[in-house]
Chains A and B, each alone.
Chain A
Amino acid sequence: MSHRMKYWSRVPAFFQAQLKLTQAAKKGLGDDVLAELVVLRASQLNRCAFCIDMHVTNLREAGVEQRRIDLLPAWEEAGDLYSERERAALAFTEAVTVLTEGFVPDAVYERAAAQFDETELAHLLAVIVAINNWNRVNVTVRQPPGAEL
């Protein structure tokens, strides 16, 4: 799986806009640990090795318990390891990421809307969209884990 293209330095304006999108989304959500859990889960679904490596590291550095990182792919079966707010956000993340399976069903949307006010929910959606952007590009160009952007 060799690196196909040194991508981000080729598109500096796109890179800057993508950074701004990510920052605006996270700032509006206002919960960095939740954002990192969401971003890691999307990266797992999209199998972005570069992104998983980065966000596992971020979660560890933020002091998140290792079990909460390790069990994330099975969060639905992990009992009370994740709060209802986190679980609602993770279900929403999966629906928005694997968009074409279900197109964000009402049950998933309403579960998230019960835990987040509208402004938070708009920014949570933006966090999910932004990581999907990073995932799409980094998978497409096969960005190696740990490599510089």
Chain B
Amino acid sequence: MTNPTTPSAAQQAPAGAGHHHGPRMRWAKLAPEVYKAMIALDAAAKKGLDGTLIELVNIRASQLNRCAFCLHMHTADARKAGETEERIALLAAWEEAAGFYTDRERAALALTEAITVLTEGFVPDAVYEQAAAVFEEAELAQLIAQITTINAWNRFGVTTRLVPGQV
């Protein structure tokens, strides 16, 4: 089994060769109108949100949903935007690394977890109110949209087993 360490090595390998873990189908090519709508959804969700916060939310949801393709993309995007290695590495344990994240980031991460793992608690009052205390309503609405959108990408990525680094 090959284990490409760089995107370029991955791209040189024939599709699926030596890697039984997908991709199962090329959904974006099979459903171009759906893909277009997803791009529009993504752009609409991001509006007015801080880029650093967006990537933290994207990485955390992708960790919970175990979307390898999405983690590869969003950790790279976060680094490009100047995010520190420390904050990326500690994100899976952000509650125990409180000093590394602001109050707003922690409220957003708690909301991300509640909305992502929806069926465990259905977004409890404490989580919602903590977010509502640090985000004004318009921003909170965008944040909910962003969390929903990364969950949508995660579902496509995991279900079709998109390969990290391959488009």
Chain A interface (Cβ within 8 Å of chain B)? Answer: 4-5, 7, 10-11, 13-14, 16-18, 20-21, 24-25, 27-28, 45-47, 95-96, 98-100, 103-104, 109, 118-119, 121-123, 125-126, 128-130, 132-133, 135-137, 139-141
Contacts and interface: CB of A to CB of B under 8 A. Distances in A.
9 closest pairs, A vs B, by CB? A122-B30, A21-B37, A13-B44, A24-B33, A17-B41, A17-B40, A14-B44, A20-B37, A126-B34
22 contacts: A7-B144, A10-B138, A11-B142, A13-B40, A13-B43, A14-B45, A18-B41, A20-B36, A21-B37, A25-B31, A45-B119, A47-B122, A100-B65, A103-B66, A109-B24, A123-B30, A125-B155, A129-B156, A132-B155, A136-B151, A139-B122, A140-B128
B119 A122 contact: no
A98 B142 contact: no
Contacts of A133: 41, 148-149, 151-152
Interface of B: 24-25, 27, 30-31, 33-34, 36-38, 40-41, 43-45, 47, 64-66, 114-115, 117-119, 122-123, 128, 132, 137-138, 140-142, 144-145, 147-149, 151-152, 154-156, 158-160
